Amino acid sequence: MSAHSVGATDPAPGRSQAGSAPSGSSDPRSGGAWGSTDPAPGRSQAGSAPSGGSDPRSGGAWGSTFSWPVRVYWEDTDAGGIVFYANYLKFFERARTEWLRERGVHQRALRDEAGGMFVVSDCRLRYLRSARLDDLLLVTAQATEVGKASLTIVQSALLKPQQESEPPVLLCEGEVRAGWVDAQTLRPARIPASVLQRLQAAPD
């Protein structure tokens, strides 16, 4: 999804502060407290919402939570040795793109076949804790609201603990609204029925 206009709110960039892990979350990539199976990265699954929020990741018409693993590299960190705040937008973008891909929606093909594309029209992030070099993150994506010309996706970045008995730690959470536009004029348009059907269908 291309960035059309983005706005981030809340804490100072990359600032570490107290936060809590989502209750009852499970890790799709390991056993123990994170789950009893080890499906391949990028598979959708049911899970619990971050504390203090509703449960946009519990399934429903738009499916379960999609998750994508992200390793923190040198290029992701700032002078303070933590992940630069804007890079969470990149992590979320990757997860959204792979979420679409899992459902057979390929963004290059959308331009060629449907004549349109998704662009970000609004983005709100909240930073709770900091990620550091070599940390392994689990980035989630879940569509919570779908209209005729836009959809809203709730996302989060969780830190996978070193010990399987420990719960995941919520680092960053956000909500992204993406609108459908004509690829040539960039004017708002209705999401094609064929695209909506792919989003509603079970993952491949």
pLDDT digit string (tens) for 35-48?
Answer: 433 444 555 544 33
The span from the CA of 106 to the CA of 97, in Å, is: 8
Cα angle 67-106-180, degrees, rounded to a multiple of 5: 95
For domain 2-11+21-200, give the CATH number: 3.10.129.10
Band of pLDDT at residue 191, cut at 50, 70 and 90: very high
String of b and e for 46-60 (b: at least 16 CB within 10 Å)?
ebbbbeeeebbbeee
Q: For the whole model, what pTM was predicted?
A: 0.70
Q: How far is CA 149 from CA 30, 177, 178, 193, in A?
A: 37, 11, 9, 11
Active site residue 135: no
Query: Which residue in 78, 134, 182, 204 is the catalytic one?
Result: 78
Q: Where are the domains of the chain?
A: 2-11+21-200
> What is the C-alpha separation between 24 and 27, in angstroms, rounded?
10
Please state, in angstroms and as integers, the Cα–Cα distance from residue 190 to each residue in 99, 121, 164, 196, following that order. 20, 15, 45, 10
pLDDT digits (tens, 9 = 90+) for 142-153: 999 888 999 999
